Structure 1
Amino acid sequence: MADWNNQSPIYLQLADRLSQNLLDGQPPEGAAMPSVRVLAAEFALNPLTVNRALQAMVDAGLLESRRGLGMFVLPQASERLRASERERFLQTEWPQLVAKLERLGISAADLTWPKESA
């Protein structure tokens, strides 16, 4: 069961979680999303909430609805999502992170970047 917060509507939180899955390639571009019933059961949510989340993803250009078949991941959805997430990070989260590092007296030299696995 998922943990939901009061910061934003649950359907938007679900859309964000499903979008994160898309960034990880699940499901891959061109593939079908799990059904509303499957997602509702997985996240213990009302199917109407799941429908709203999927519609938000359609509106964002990540999914398309195929009548009678379900929702499918659009080509280049990951690329579009990555670009918008990168922009949001650089505009919103990065300035907050830099301010916190400055408050704590942490410099770039104090930070280590994780080594890439081979």
Structure 2
Amino acid sequence: MQPHWDHRAPIYQQLADRLAARLLDGDIAEGDAMPSVRALSGQYLLNPLTVSRALAALGDAGLLENRRGLGLYVRPGARLHLRRTERERFLHDEWPQLRERLRRLDIAATDLTWEE
């Protein structure tokens, strides 16, 4: 199955976001090697340059480190760092909009559940 890409954001950023979500979920552990550019290109059906750019974005965010001759590895503390920055972004950017929409629709906290 081919992954779905949204036309509103650059594909490399969408891939970086997907890989970051895998880090948050623990699918890729701290200290582990990241899959190779070739492996990710095949898995997501993307140009290797796009994959390289996504990995560079994760490196620029302080989540990955390049070990010369070995590849890219998840930095120790990357998950906590990512959780903090994503939490801050959510509370600053997304939550106010979501709270306003809930208010408009007259949805109270008691109307919401955590279960699916």
- Class of the TM-score when normalised by the shorter of the 2 chains: over 0.9
Answering whether residue 3 of structure 2 is matched by residue 2 of structure 1, we say yes
Q: CA deviation at 1:109?
A: 2.3
Residue of structure 2 in register with 1:49 after alignment: 50
Q: Distance in 1 between matches of 2:55 and 2:80?
A: 18
Which 5+ residue runs of structure 2 have no aligned equivalent? none
Post-superposition offset of 1:82: 0.2
1:113 partner amino acid: W
What percent of counterpart residues are identical? 60
SS at match of 1:3: coil
- C-alpha distance in 1 between matches for 2:114 and 2:3: 30
Q: What is residue 12 of structure 2 aligned with on the other side?
A: 11
Q: CA deviation at 1:93?
A: 1.0
**Paired residues for 1:92-103 under 5 Å:** 92-103=93-104
For 1:32, the equivalent position in structure 2 comes to 33
- Given residue 107 of structure 1, which amino acid in structure 2 is its aligned partner? A
CA-based RMSD: 1.2
TM-score normalised according to structure 1 size? 0.93
Equivalent residue for 2:89?
Answer: 88
C-alpha distance after superposition, 1:74-110 (max 9, x if no partner): 0000000000010011011111111111111111222
Superimposed CA distance per residue, residues 11-32 of structure 1 (whole angstroms, 9 cap, x where no aligned partner): 0100000000000112210010
Cα distance in 2, alignment partners of residues 67 and 19 from structure 1? 22
Aligned residues: 115
Question: What is the SS of the residue equivalent to 2:30?
Answer: coil
SS of match in other structure, 2:62 = coil
Partner of 2:74: 73
- What is the TM-score normalised by the length of structure 2? 0.94
Q: Give the superposition deviation at 1:65.
A: 1.0
